Amino acid sequence: MSDFQFQDMLPLGKDETPYRLLTKEGVSTFEAAGRTFLQVEPEALTLLTREAMRDISHLLRPGHLQQLNNILQDPEASSNDKFVALELLKNANIAAGGVLPSCQDTGTAIVMGKKGQYVLTRGGDEAAISRGVFDTYLTSNLRYSQMAPLDMYKEVNTGNNLPAQIELYATDGDAYKFLFMAKGGGSANKSYLFQETKAVLNPQSLLAFLEQKIRSLGTAACPPYHLAIVVGGTSAEFALKTAKYASARYLDTLPTSGNALGRGFRDVELEQEVLKLTQRTGIGAQFGGKYFCHDVRVIRLPRHGASCPVAIAVSCSADRQALGKITRDGVFLEALETDPAKYLPETKDADLSGDVVKLDLNRPMSDLRAELSRYPIKTRLSLSGSLVVARDIAHAKIKERLDRGEGMPQYLKDHMVYYAGPAKTPEGYASGSFGPTTAGRMDAYVDQFQAEGGSFVMLAKGNRSPAVTEACKKHGGFYLGSIGGPAARLAQDCIKKVEVLEYAELGMEAVWKIDVVDFPAFIVVDDKGNDFFANINKPSAKK
């Protein structure tokens, strides 16, 4: 029999995070039973959350910005890698102004807190934290994404982005520590759990398994990614949660080796192997190249002998998270970068991207399709003119009309359709942040819509199913990929006019008409059956 020994399963090292002081108010100490206790008022929790959610909607970590700059300096990076990196840096500079958020999908608010045993509050911590989320989303140009179910099938938007996901843990110490995240649908939908067996626990099998799953991630969540992989776990949910924290670099200070007590650790050698694997895929920063991922975290956890969960998660180009803490010295929030311009080199678009085809959208759809047919997939485009915007609910309503025999709306026959939904429009702006949404959610509509004379040219982000490629080949359609991530830049520089065409009651899910200038895009699927993403799910020959 072994002696009892306790060990934290995720033992973190020293916190080297740079923090800024928000306030010393709402925090005090008192003595009782020979011990010093930290008392935290609910107003301090609300303030910290409010500031954190606002910061992560507009600012990024310096390390993330440096990684984007590194792409521009890398001679092995493709022109598409560099173009995307430059767009994301431009977007970061606009978002840092605090008006337009970095992404139009301003996410689900997620707060994880660890409360030391010497920290006392007045109770209602979750309510105080939720109030901070509420305040930020109502007073900023952010989007409300949370849907409340009225029954199994009917939903309404809550109108304030609540409820938030709040998880609070008891721990040792005299501090209250937090991780704040805003998780958009694109990156959240790329969290995966696979129930494997010990057969995967050898180098050849594990790398082959990971290559297949990594290729299947696609680009809908806006790479370059921070990729996290967790092998093992005492439960499925713990594996997934660990992957989420690892993608936020929250677990970077874990030890780099295991022990007989079962602590989790980082396998830094495997991280580099997997990073090289991601570079070999050729997916790149959305449209071909080397930078599918900025970096990789691989965490190994203990497991039940009959279970071997493998979890995968990503943090997307928005990369929205920050640490916070409340101590006897005050309320502190991680210092994100307020001057991202320092990472933006003196580089012009023409130096990065090669030939660009300027496309006039204000002409008959037949003419537009004829011109697109002249160019191969991966051709970079600059779009100017009018297009319509429609996403999930609008597509469902239009399908209902078609099924009733009412015909295709003329606006979908005459214009390119952009799958998107805006954040709130700031005063003085034509549009709020207005980046593309995941195209795959509209795949089921394409064949029917094109057969009815609409949706011949589609614009969104991410890969499409083979059914879309077949529909485009059959009906003479095209799918254009937009860069996922630079929603603020698109709103400030490219979108000049926005008006509602139909279904105004749907809010951001309405059908819009927008006028754009120099809107960047790439040809992803053409009218000949070619698909840029067709080879993504095929393993590489190199072993």
List pLDDT tens digits, range 54-97.
999 999 999 999 999 999 999 999 988 998 999 899 899 889 99
CA–CA gap between residue 381 and residue 370 (Å, rounded): 15
Q: Does residue 26 sit within a domain?
A: no
Dihedral in degrees, nearest 10, Cα atoms 49, 52, 56, 60: -160
CA–CA gap between residue 455 and residue 363 (Å, rounded): 15
What one-character-per-residue DSSP string does 94-123 give? HHTTSSS-S-S---EEEEEEEEETTEE--S
Going by their DSSP bridges, the two strands 308-315 and 225-233 should be labelled as: antiparallel
Q: What is the mean pLDDT of residues 40-59?
A: 98
Cα atoms in the 13 Å half-sphere on the side-chain side of 440: 16
Q: What is the mean pLDDT of residues 342-357?
A: 67
Least confident of 106-110, 208-212, 343-347, 508-512: 343-347
Task: Tell me the pLDDT of the chain averaged across its residues.
Answer: 93
Q: Does residue 301 sit within a domain?
A: no
The residue count for the chain: 543
**pLDDT (0 to 100) of residue 539:** 61
Q: Does residue 96 sit within a domain?
A: no
C-alpha closest to that of 192 among 169, 218, 165: 218
Q: Does residue 56 sit within a domain?
A: no
Domain with 418, as residue range(s), is: 357-525
Q: Do residues 477 and 456 make contact, with C-beta atoms less than 8 angstroms apart?
A: yes
Residues β-bridged to residue 233:
303
Query: pLDDT category, 355, cuts 50, 70, 90?
Result: confident
User: How many structural domains does the chain have?
Assistant: 1
What one-character-per-residue DSSP string does 153-212 give? S-EEE-SS-PPPEEEEEEESSS-EEEEEEEE-HHHHTT-EEEEE-GGG-SHHHHHHHHHH
Q: What is the mean pLDDT of residues 460-474?
A: 93
Query: pLDDT category, 219, cuts 50, 70, 90?
Result: confident
Q: Does residue 477 sit within a domain?
A: yes
φ/ψ of 190, rounded to 5, equals -100, 30
Residues β-bridged to residue 325:
177, 332
CA–CA gap between residue 140 and residue 126 (Å, rounded): 21
Query: pLDDT category, 123, cuts 50, 70, 90?
Result: very high
Query: pLDDT category, 220, cuts 50, 70, 90?
Result: confident
Q: Does residue 351 sit within a domain?
A: no
**pLDDT (0 to 100) of residue 286:** 84
**Is it the case that residue 139 has pLDDT exceeding 50?**
yes
CATH code: domain of residue 362: 3.20.130.10
**Is it the case that residue 542 has pLDDT exceeding 80?**
no
Q: Does residue 454 sit within a domain?
A: yes
What one-character-per-residue DSSP string does 263-328 give? --EE-HHHHHHHHHHHHHT-BTTTTSBS-SEEEEEEEEEEE-TT-EEEEEEEE-TT--EEEEEEET
**pLDDT (0 to 100) of residue 543:** 36
Give residue-wise pLDDT tens across range 169-186. 999 999 999 999 999 998
Q: Do residues 521 and 383 make contact, with C-beta atoms less than 8 angstroms apart?
A: yes
What's the Rg (C-alpha) of the chain? 24
Q: Does residue 445 sit within a domain?
A: yes
Q: Which residues of 300-331 are buried (b: 16+ CB within 10 A; e: fewer)?
A: bbebeeebbbbbbbbbbbbbbbbbbbbbbebb
Q: Do residues 26 and 110 make contact, with C-beta atoms less than 8 angstroms apart?
A: no
Q: What is the mean pLDDT of residues 214-230?
A: 93
C-alpha closest to that of 102 among 285, 319, 313, 294: 319
- Percentage of the chain exceeding pLDDT 90: 83
CA–CA gap between residue 122 and residue 253 (Å, rounded): 32
Element (H, E) at 80: helix 79-95
* Vertex 87 angle, CA 286 and 427, to 5°: 120
